[in-house]
């Protein structure tokens, strides 16, 4: 595509500064605007730095003659020999660089030829995947690296001339770019002979096979990475082939049918209804006479024989059992601070414990330990606060 590029030092270019006029402070900016617009106009229409009179009149309006004289005197414009009222802009990449029409046409021609399968298929059948200049195996998926595959026009196609298979060759990006920058490309980087047995990678085998040409892939070479086609299962589920989706959907449907049949059979099978343990326990408690107990959980001798004592829960036991039983996990729960939760277990506060031999029931004269609230006093002394005279 056509483009223009301004130099980093273009604003202070000597030719532009020569257009300054000490008697008119607006002369420099006015000439700079006129010339830069002429560069953009030439780049867009690919006139190759040529400015005709009509374009100059369009840009300069009533001051065209003065602007042309001032720019010509500074060296920004010069007369085109053999053409009246036509000028050529300064060709200096440090000021403004334009892409020429021949370069734009060559790029457009290369893109059309690379997309023309009538040419590329025959060229790849003849050359394979080896560069005809350096012999390295090209990678057709690489678009930016030096090993990327492309096609080279040798000799370069002239404007208006058709491209043929005999003038197009497989090349790597590195050799193609190097030949374009050499003054004598055929002498410094000549064309290699046509291979007797072309070497094809897996990607070229698939590419040519889709177009009706059956070729065999070459054996992997040392240091060369063989291009492989992606496995069908590696593609996302939404991009898989319809037959694969049907195959995956078939086992799912079979499994769903089996699950429905199993659910129907389970629904028809009679389900026993055993007696609930809670109900049985409730019935036994209703038949057993009540027994009076003291606050330690022992039966009162005055009311009747002791029944099966309902001891305190596991979390209410503190320390080893009086009978010599070693302390278990439930006994170690009170080794940390009560209610702190630092040992990762849920420990009730002392005020909620059931009475036990080691923790007698609190009396009215002695309040239970740690029964005071843990909240901090309102208005307490914080960090860094000063003591008052009353506190000292």
| pLDDT for 360 | 60
| pLDDT for 335 | 45
- Residue pointed to by tokens 């690919």: 46
Integer CA distances (angstroms), 24 to 27, 37, 275, 305, in order: 6, 21, 113, 127
Nearest partner of 132 among 77, 174, 81, 74, judged by Cα: 174
Residue 63 to residue 252: CA distance in whole angstroms: 82
Residue 254 to residue 132: CA distance in whole angstroms: 57
| pLDDT for 251 | 52
- Residue pointed to by tokens 């030439």: 42
- What would the 3-class secondary structure string for 110-153 be? HHHHHCCHHHHHHHHHHHCCECCCCCCECECCCCCCCCEEEEEE
The share of the chain scoring above pLDDT 90, in percent, equals: 44
Q: What is the pairing mode between strands 149-153 and 4-6?
A: unpaired
Tell me the sheet residues that pair with 51: 87
Q: What is the pairing mode between strands 50-52 and 86-89?
A: antiparallel
For helices 101-114 and 117-127, give the axis angle rounded to 10 degrees.
Answer: 70
Beta strands in the chain (DSSP E): 4-6, 50-52, 77-79, 86-89, 96-98, 149-153, 168-172
| pLDDT for 352 | 54
What tokens appear for 14 in the block?
Answer: 């000597």
- Which residue ranges in the chain fall short of pLDDT 50? 228-230, 233, 256-257, 271-286, 316-317, 322, 329-341, 343-345, 388-392
Taking phi over 0 as left and psi of -120 to 50 as alpha, with beta for the rest, 4 belongs to beta
| pLDDT for 294 | 53
| pLDDT for 285 | 46
For helices 53-60 and 64-74, give the axis angle rounded to 10 degrees.
Answer: 110
Residue 87 to residue 51: CA distance in whole angstroms: 5
Task: Give the list of residues 6+ apart from residue 7 with CB closer than 8 angstroms, or none.
Answer: 13, 92, 93, 94, 95, 96, 97
Helix boundaries (H) for 218-334: 242-268, 277-287
| pLDDT for 117 | 93
- Residue pointed to by tokens 């002239």: 158
Mean pLDDT estimate for the chain: 74
Residue 132 to residue 111: CA distance in whole angstroms: 20
């Amino acid at each position: 595509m056509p483009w223009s590029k301004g130099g980093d030092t273009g604003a202070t270019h000597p030719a532009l500064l020569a257009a300054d006029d000490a008697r008119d402070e607006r002369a420099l900016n006015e000439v700079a605007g006129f010339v830069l617009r002429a560069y953009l106009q030439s780049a867009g229409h690919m006139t190759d730095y040529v400015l005709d009179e009509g374009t100059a009149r369009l840009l300069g309006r009533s001051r065209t003659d003065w602007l042309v004289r001032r720019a010509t005197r500074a060296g920004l414009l010069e007369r085109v020999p053999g053409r009246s009222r036509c000028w050529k802009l300064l060709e200096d990449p440090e000021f403004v660089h334009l892409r020429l029409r021949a370069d734009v046409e060559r790029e457009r021609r290369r893109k059309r030829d690379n997309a023309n399968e009538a040419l590329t298929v025959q060229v790849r059948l003849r050359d394979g995947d080896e560069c005809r200049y350096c012999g390295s195996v090209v990678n057709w998926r690489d678009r930016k690296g030096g090993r990327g595959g492309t096609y080279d026009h040798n000799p370069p196609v002239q404007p208006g001339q058709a491209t043929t298979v005999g003038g197009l060759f497989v090349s790597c990006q590195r050799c193609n770019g190097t030949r374009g920058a050499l003054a004598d490309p055929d002498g410094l980087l000549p064309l290699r002979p046509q291979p007797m047995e072309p070497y094809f990678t897996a990607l070229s085998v698939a590419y040519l096979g889709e177009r009706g040409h059956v070729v065999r892939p070459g054996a992997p070479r040392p240091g060369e990475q063989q291009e492989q086609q992606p496995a069908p299962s590696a593609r996302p589920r939404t991009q898989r082939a319809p037959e694969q989706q049907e195959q995956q959907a078939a086992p799912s449907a079979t499994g769903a049918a089996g699950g429905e049949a199993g659910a129907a059979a389970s629904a028809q099978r009679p389900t026993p209804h055993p007696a609930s343990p809670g109900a049985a326990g409730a019935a036994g408690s209703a038949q057993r006479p009540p027994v009076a107990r003291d606050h330690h959980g022992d039966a009162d001798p005055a009311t009747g024989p002791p029944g099966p004592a309902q001891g305190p829960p596991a979390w209410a036991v503190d320390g080893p059992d009086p009978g010599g039983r070693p302390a278990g996990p439930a006994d170690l729960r009170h080794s940390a601070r009560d209610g702190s939760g630092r040992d990762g277990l849920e420990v009730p506060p002392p005020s909620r414990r059931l009475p036990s031999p080691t923790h007698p029931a609190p009396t009215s004269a002695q309040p239970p330990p740690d029964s005071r609230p843990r909240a901090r006093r309102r208005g307490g002394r914080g960090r860094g606060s000063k003591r008052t005279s009353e506190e000292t």
